[in-house]
Structure 1
């Protein structure tokens, strides 16, 4: 049997948001690579998946990628999952997929959970054209990136952490202007899922009055 890499999306919150095919492949794979084995272990235990699991994350992917491509070349089936969502989308996955492509090894990505898609659909902002940025630069280049994005005509999608969201909104207020419409979705698919919509000034006021928790998807109206 030929080896193959499967990139398998996992739930972003609600454990029911996983496909039947994903569950079957996780059970059939020779090895599961997980961003955090403790987090993924809860998912695998929930669905009684006994496949061996090893850690594969941003701190070891440079050292381990070559070894895993060799295993795939030798015929092993490897499934890559991350803590939540689709591998390669602001998560590990790109490096291993690229290495497999370069070696002409089979790679397949299943459709499934990605946080920015439901956040975009419920935002009320144009969804026919958008640009996904992921996380902004942590420090250096953050301001210049926002200035560049302020001229973007398509809906802009960002990921942000709860402890940075207020400072990011303040920067957006300064660079984009108070009236630019935005939408914030947090805790998607979980019990406390929430979407806040309005102009930058309105949303910033809400966030300062009630600090947000959980992973955040931030959408900004295009110019």
Structure 2
């Protein structure tokens, strides 16, 4: 049985997910929203018009470019439009706005001013990559793009080395090989990982293996949109092996219980188990 498509909310800011590769993944609600919106803020207006043409829909509202360089200035303007009762639609080039894409400042401005914010969900490169990776998906973190500078990127990876959650990264094809080398250095060459290239597109490719395998597989370079999924740390689960880390934090002035909680977050262990192991160590001298 057919259902009526929900109309775009007036007086609200709506975030809409766009296809990450295959135009056929556009939802009926997204297509309807393009025709209903009074203002459409797009990361690249030309790409949006090209997508609308493929979807056989003509945007009726004003188009406004919204990118990293002008979002701070245009956030208030867009929220003003919604406050006047306008239907404001935010889209990025691919996937959901605000997820490694513009839109966050607009949402924050709307929240501060009490303007409703809603979404039209849809394609997500991060979740699509996680789903096909074959790596644990019960707990995961989205890390986005690593810093461009070598030292900052290495420090970011070192901080994640003992994170037990599956990690999702975006990366450019030009930097992929170098990033995988850094990951192998920080996480160890035997850590399992997956490189997803051109998801949902004609030349979709999923490379699985250890980080060492993927470093070798990308030595000659790759093309396309890239998402990297890396297995979380699966080190020892014995709380006694992490007592020194808790005591080191306590020696720096942190309360013992807080130190145990901090190490528990990094290792996936239970705070109470770590705390008990520390007390047992101290009791034993």
What TM-score do the two structures reach when normalised by structure 2?
0.76
Q: How far did residue 48 of structure 1 move?
A: 2.2
* Deviation >6 Å, runs of 4+: none
Alignment RMSD (CA, Å): 1.2
Matched, 1:78 2:115: no
Extract unaligned runs of 5+ from structure 1: none
Contact preservation (8 Å) 2:37, 2:59:
no
- Candidates 48, 63, 76, aligned match of 1:66: 76
Residue correspondence of structure 1 range 171-210 to structure 2 within 5 A = 171-209=182-220
One of 173, 187, 192 as aligned partner of 1:162: 173
Of residues 105, 111, 124, the one that matches 1:101 is: 111
Deviation track 1:132-177 (CA, whole Å, cap 9, x = no partner) reads: 0100111152111000111110001100000001111111111111
Q: Does residue 50 of structure 1 match 2:50?
A: no
Q: Give the greater-gyration-radius structure (CA).
A: 2
Q: Deviations along 1:43-73, whole A, 9 cap, x unmatched?
A: 1122222323110111101111111111111
Shift of 1:74: 0.8
Q: Could you say which residue in structure 2 is the equivalent of 1:39?
A: 47
**CA distance in 2: counterparts of 1:204 and 1:185, whole angstroms:** 14
Distance 2:209 2:59 in 1: 46
Check if 1:121 corresponds to 2:131: yes
Secondary structure in 2 matching 1:54: strand
How far off is 1:2 after superposition?
Answer: 4.5
Matches within 5 A, 1:140-151: 141-151=152-162
Shift of 1:22: 1.1
Deviations 1:177-209 (A, max 9, x none): 110000000101100000000001111111114
Aligned to 2:26: 18
**2:196 alignment partner, SS class:** strand
**Offset from partner CA, 1:7-36 (integer Å, 9 cap, x none):** 000000100111101111121111111000
Q: Secondary structure at the match of 1:147?
A: helix
Distance in 2, Cα, partners of 1:145 & 1:109: 31
SS at match of 1:16: helix
* CA offset digits 1:61-104 (Å, max 9, x no partner): 11111111111111111101011100111001111011111111
Could you say which structure has the greater relative contact order, defined with CA pairs below 8 angstroms and 6 or more residues apart? 1
Q: Which has the higher strand share?
A: 1
> What does residue 29 of structure 1 align with?
37
